[in-house]
Structures are given as C-alpha cells and as structure tokens.
Structure 1
C-alpha cells in the first residue's frame, strides 16, 4: 500500500500570559554594560537606542495585538522528515485567474515574518493595483529551528536538506510544479531547490547571490568578479563576526542570547539596522513594533540557538555543492541597499540567469522593507513561467 501523505493541521499560536510576564521581568532587570562615550553604533549595538527599545518592549509593546495580526495569515503545521513544520499557505484570490504556486524561503535573523507584508500583494494583486493574472498560491515555511517549526534534536539541517523538505511540502500541498524564491539563507534553499529538483521548479528568484565560494583559478574570473570577491572578503572581516560564531561555536553564544532578552535584541537589532536600507536610522525601515515582533518571535519560540546552528550545518557542505551551476531559469533583484551585492558576471557564471534588476530602494529584508517593489519584482520575473507550471 502507498504511504499515506501527512496532513497539514491549522495552527494558531497562543502565548501563555506567564511567558510575557517573565519576559517583562527580565527586561526590567537588565544588567546594562558600559560603553565608551559617543561610541554610537561603531562598536556594535548602540547602548542608548537599545535602552530605549528595551523600555518600550517592557512597558508598551503589545504582543497580543501583533500575535493576532500574524494569526490572520492562514497558518498550518505538518510532520515532515520527523519534524513539525510550520508554514503559511495563502491561496490566490478567487477573483484571480490560474495561480502559480510559489514557495518563499526566509533567512536569518527572521522567519515567516519576513514575508508577512508581501503575502497579500502576491495572492491578490488585483486588489493592489496590479494584474489579477499575476496571482500566486504562496507557501512560506519556517526553516526547522526557526519560528514555529520544530527544533531538530539531532544535527541541524543544512540548506540542501531544507530544500528537500520544501519539495516534499509542495507535494503534500498538491503542487507538482512551482516557483521558488528567497534571500539570505533562503537564497541557498531556493538555489538547491533548482539544483536538486529541476523537474519540479519552473524558475528561481533570489535577492542575493550569497557570499562567494570559488576554488578555481582566479585568473578565470573577470576583473569585476575578482573585485567583488575581494570586497566580500573585506566585508566578512569587518562585519562577519556573527557568522564566524554561528559557524564554529553557536552553542556558546546561545546561552547568553537565550537567557537575556536584551542580549537577544542587541544581536538581532544590529543586523536589522546594518543590512537594511535605512541610512543608519533603523526606524526608517522598521517601526519599533515591527522590530520587536521579529525579536519576540525568537524569544517566545526559544529558537535563537537552533537558528544559528544552521550556519554550522551549511559550513560542512562540500564546496563543490556551492559551485554547481543552476540551469533552471534564474532571476535576481539586487536591491540597492543590500550588502555584498554580486556583479552580473558572477550571477551569469553560477546560474542560467535570464533577468537581473537593481531596485533603487530596499535592503537585505526587501520583502518587509519594500513589499510593493518586491511583489512587482516577483510578478514580472515569474510571468513567463506560469504556463510551464500548469503543463
């Protein structure tokens, strides 16, 4: 007898009030470090701004309201690969024409939260000034160890394994062929979906090319590519301490970040500011409520340690896996405010690149920072592949 498919079950998060009271107690008891006068953000998270944010988190932040807003998304959990996987499954509006299934993969430090603003624009474009024919059925899973998906009790899953889970999830949902898109860690997951499941993935869209991994002869690279690799290496030297810790000793950092909400906020806040298109003012890209919704998701689910361990898993992936060329049609939206922006030559070398754009606004968290621009980028890129998904 064929094995029965797992059945997704509706998921509604309900936070225990005692967990919120414990959070507020910890925030009010924060033991603050000193900082050099006028250090600002030059040494990491700014002490003055973090004190302001923590005070707001303890006294004024309304998590139940944010939780209710997230609960408006159609959310589910399903057992896959021995893990409970949480995901959003938002179907195209009834008024739309035939829809394209699309799986969106998030990165770090976020979760399904990254796409919460853009989902309505993708499922119901006609209500947002766009062509109803560009509608998607949107699937946004939480990577194991992030958000409301289970934390692996054994070794963490690398991006290749996560891509395999997403292919299985799309089968469970009844989608034989689909598009894939993502950024940050989700860029790797989407890439491996195209590499390992080319018979099912009609096209892949990414907002970055990842950090360069090249073991060949540098003489084979264009001057533009060599300059980019040098700049990416320099960026890693000044901005990559977090990733070095995640790759090598994530558990050590997890003790403090899991125990101190202020420490957790400092760890995540620095990246929200440094990687977004905010010109140094994080609240140009995110409100306090938005910042704290993302951080509170990490706190309440206890996933900061498990999320960091994914870097450790990816570091063990053989370099040859990252040098495989993606032959599935690939598109890139390289937002102007993102970090480590790859040149066209590199994208053409590593993928069957059919489209590359450079939106003038938006950073590393483009689906959240600029949801309208991001939605239009996806509509335009996937438009030629809708028929292929139905074929």
Structure 2
C-alpha cells in the first residue's frame, strides 16, 4: 500500500499493546456494585447516633474472597480483612466510616457520637453538697470552703455583710460577727448556692489555754436548718424532690412556696426527700425544725400545675408517677413556638419535659459541640425567621422513660441585598 516498513512495525506494536491492555483490564476487572454499610450497637440510637465509648458493629455484604479495608474517620489505624468489625469512638462529633472493597469499591456511612446522659443521681447538684465546709466556727476564726462543681467561666463567693468577692474554687473567710452568717456561691453567673454558717461566741476570760479562744457550748445557740440545693428544681404534684443542706434533725415540716409538702423523709442531717403536694406555689424550699425555719433566701422551686401543659395541648410530665414520653413532633412544635416568640412557651416550660431540665444536651445542626436546651431557646428567640426543620429525642438507655438528649436542625433564610433567596443552617 506504499507504506514504509517502519510504519507497519509501529502499527503492529500499538495493536499488540492495546490488546495486552484490554486483556489486563478484562482479567483484573472488579464489579463495583453498590453495597451498604450496616450499623448496630447494644444501645442503638436513631439515625446512626451512638454514645461515646459504645461498641458499634459495622458490616458489609462480602465474601471471604473479598479484600476489605475499614477507615473510621477518627484517626485510628485502618482495619483490614473482615466484613464485620467493631469500633468505639472516644469523643463526640460527626464521623465518616468508609469501607474499601478489593482496592476498588468504596462506600461510606455518616454517624454521630454524643455524650452519654448522666444518671439523675450523678449530677453535681444532686449527689453532693455544692458548698463544702464547716457548719460552725468560732468568732474570730477563719474557715475554708470549696466546691466540687466545675465552672465553665468563673466562681464568685460572698459572705453576708462583707463587700469582698473571692473567685477561686476554694476560699477562706474570717468570721467576726456572732450568730448566723450566709455564704453565697455563684457559678458562671447563673447557678447560685448558699450555705448558712453558725458563728459561736468565744470566752472572753477564763480560757484554759492563754491566747486561744474557746467557743461556748453549742447548745447555747439554737441553730436553724439551712437549705443549700434542691433537685429537681421544678415539677408538679407528686414530684420527689431531694433537698441538701444541714441541721435537718428534728424536721417538723417542708414547704414549697409556703405550701407544705405532701410528705417528707429525713434521710440524714444533711438530706431530705419530699413529695410536692397539689396546689403548691413557686417559691423558696423551706425546712422548719424545732429551732426555726431555714432562711427565706433558700433555693427556689418552680411549681408546674398538673394542667399547665406547654402550649396547652400536652399532659404534664413533671409528675414522675404519670410521666409519658414527649414525641418528636410535639418537641418540634414547642421549639417552633419558642422561635416565633410565643410568650406562653418558654425555655423553662420546654425543659419540664426532660430529666436534664434546661441543662439537657442539644446537638444543633452540624455543630460538633453540644449546647444546653436553654442556650438553644436563646438562639431561636434571638434569630429572625427561624425554621425548625426537625427535632429528635434521644432516650436514656438506663431509663427509657427519661429523655436526656436532643438532635435539632433549624435554618434561616439567606439574604442578598435584603432579599430572601434560600435557607442557611446556623
């Protein structure tokens, strides 16, 4: 055909290379048919949500001949060789778990890891006295006080009658005035605790040890009870409230907002459990002994009447005996009312449906760090044109009737030159 021999040779070489490449592709071809990664756990949550430290099982449909490689997206070493693997995540956040099959096919699944809800008795307010220190001191002496509650921002300690403010987790106070003095601890500006200290008089003369003051017998002063904290801080008739304080021996009555409790039990000189009676009032929790009542500045309890359901359409859930689970749809409705500025639906009213109250952990949108329910309500109230797209309740695995965590998605319209063009998630 008039072609040079070198051209024919080049064409032959190209043909051989193409045939070899095609043969290699046919031999090494892998069918990357779609497969799905399944997830499960001992405490399976909805929508691939699990707890920190929970053992999660991941599996794919594969045969023993398939070569598999797992990546969990949390910086740990990849696992290889098994169609079913288990893994635990040690921190909160959103992770992408992927599986590569035969070095060719890759599939992934997104999961969320949230903190485990604290059991009711594990909370600092419930399990321990907020202010640790002496109940009685001698006039002229100093005493040390501290707290086990961790502050996010700061501590503020005050002694009644003194302008000084101390800002450490442990402080010393000097007591010069005889009688009852109150120590106030404010944490992060919104958590307030009190402790009443009895300052005993000292002997001005006749002391057995020169230079050392001795207190008069404690029986010369009638020491009234002191209420340091209550848990929970809100509820309806039948709610069991734990009261922590001091000098509870010989308690005659317990009241909520001036209305006596239905019943009470003295657990120890520092702890009482009381049942809220029908018709109680919002106000201080008072304990009265033969030495008188506790101070009027005792911690407050918010009474929720049995027919005071949020939004007027839901049953009261503060009553532990008749507690029912709040549905996702109802929660979305409540949060929508909060976003719309409904004066009848506040953060406090929403919080009554959750064991964690206003401190219930909320995972909003794609944020890695959880916020409190009260903070979520503040955001919804302060933003404009917010749309609550979804709300999902995570139940406590140790108490199925107790809702402790929330997943919420909300958005605002995008604006360009003041014109709404779409939605954006905060």
Scaled by the length of structure 2, the TM-score of the pair is 0.26
Of structures 1 and 2, the larger Rg is shown by: 2
Relative contact order, higher structure (CA 8 A, sep 6+): 1
Give the strand-richer structure, 1 or 2.
2
Scaled by the length of structure 1, the TM-score of the pair is 0.27
Give the helix-richer structure, 1 or 2.
1
